[in-house]
Amino acid sequence: MQEIQKLNIHETLYAQIHQGVLAYKTKYLASHGKESGWQKELAQKAAVSHVYISLIAKDKRADKTLQAIGRDAWAQIALALNLASEQSAWTAVPTSVYKSVYKICYTAKRHSYAVGIDGEAGIGKTYTLKRFQALEDQVVFVQGSVDLSAKGFLLELATALGIQAEGKSQRELTDSFCRQLRNKSIASREKPLVIIDEASKLRDSVLHKFITLYNELEGFCGFVLCGCRLESKLITGRARGKIGYDEIYSRLGAEIKKQEPCTQQDLTDLCLANGIMQTAKIANIWHQSRGHIRQAERLIKHYKHEQTATQQAEPQLSFA
């Protein structure tokens, strides 16, 4: 989602406010039987200049006055139009982490190689991996866990490809899975990709299965292993001489792609996309979350709830 050039607001939000202003004008005309006065009324509700309302209604994006509207004023206009209560859905934005992880997955898939991704919890790695699976063809996604056995891991892989797994041994499941992926790779220009998320939580017996899968599918399929502290797990395992860890690290190119938390600009974009435009609130969200999307999402939803509650609590004055 991009910010409109020279305007202190995102395109999606500007479009919503623009449409909201036009809808307010239409409603005012139906209620009062005339157009004069609608801009002044809305401007008073938003505590902004009526000139702002006029420029938004006319979509004068190139006007310097419209470009000078600050984020707090945009927020006041959105509140006056009751847009905050309508934006309960969460809007994601392509953060620096999203762009990096997506590109890594795309490259691994295209060239059929294995890669490891590491990064702190809550910065958007899993979200990106799931989006990649949803948007790209021939992607198998498996979520790791501490209690996942080697057989359970193979069953999840088989299930993802629709393979009949009942009564099959681990060797049979591995053969069926690899055979099907090889056939898919040969029959299509789209190379398959296997994504193993939370790989740092996997038991050694499960990680050893990755070695087998890689050996069987090298050149036919790409792999992405992702997890918080994955690099630390592999380095420790190698230092202790644990079986298979040198082989795993080698197959991942002897390098783990480290992801840093999201930038301040990422979180600003996220706030704006979700209707938080007040400068002070954006700064507080950055200060408290420090680049962690999970925490930022909680704070943004908290502020949105406050905005909605404030709107609903405002008294409806009657002059009858």
Segment 274-280 shows an average pLDDT of: 86
* Cβ neighbours for 125, distance < 8 A, ≥ 6 positions apart: 97, 101, 117, 119, 197, 226, 259
Segment 261-270 shows an average pLDDT of: 93
d(CA 165, CA 116): 28
Lowest mean pLDDT among 68-82, 100-114, 216-230: 68-82
pLDDT interval class at 267 (50, 70, 90): very high
Segment 39-62 shows an average pLDDT of: 89
Give me the pLDDT at residue 248, please.
Answer: 96
Does pLDDT of 305 surpass 90? no
More confident residue, 75 or 217: 217
Does pLDDT of 85 surpass 70? no
Fold of 96-258: Rossmann fold (3.40.50)
* Cβ neighbours for 303, distance < 8 A, ≥ 6 positions apart: 276, 281, 285
d(CA 22, CA 16): 10
Lowest mean pLDDT among 73-82, 186-195, 267-276: 73-82
Give me the pLDDT at residue 89, please.
Answer: 67
Does pLDDT of 309 surpass 90? no
Report the 3 state secondary structure along 119-163.
Answer: ECCCCCHHHHHHHHHHHCCCEEEEECCCCCCHHHHHHHHHHHCCC
Does pLDDT of 293 surpass 70? yes
Single pTM value for the model: 0.74
Segment 155-175 shows an average pLDDT of: 91
pLDDT interval class at 318 (50, 70, 90): very low
Which pLDDT tens digit goes with each residue over 182-226? 999 999 888 999 999 999 999 999 999 999 999 999 999 999 999
Segment 145-170 shows an average pLDDT of: 91
Segment 272-292 shows an average pLDDT of: 90
| Identity of the highest mean pLDDT range in 26-30, 37-41, 104-108 | 104-108
- Whose CA is closest to 188, among 104, 103, 109? 109
Helical H segments across the chain, by residue range: 11-32, 38-46, 50-57, 64-67, 71-80, 83-86, 96-111, 125-135, 150-160, 170-187, 204-217, 230-239, 245-251, 264-273, 279-289, 293-313
Give me the pLDDT at residue 278, please.
Answer: 86
d(CA 309, CA 146): 41
Does pLDDT of 46 surpass 50? yes
Segment 47-73 shows an average pLDDT of: 87
Give me the pLDDT at residue 311, please.
Answer: 54
Give me the pLDDT at residue 1, please.
Answer: 42
d(CA 113, CA 100): 17
Lowest mean pLDDT among 67-71, 198-202, 307-311: 307-311
CB atoms within 10 A of CB 242: 15
Give me the pLDDT at residue 169, please.
Answer: 94
Segment 112-137 shows an average pLDDT of: 95
Question: What's the half-sphere exposure (Cβ side, CA atoms, 13 Å) at 112?
Answer: 19
Specify the residue for token string 């079986």: 243
Does pLDDT of 314 surpass 60? no
Give me the pLDDT at residue 317, please.
Answer: 44
Give me the pLDDT at residue 32, please.
Answer: 82
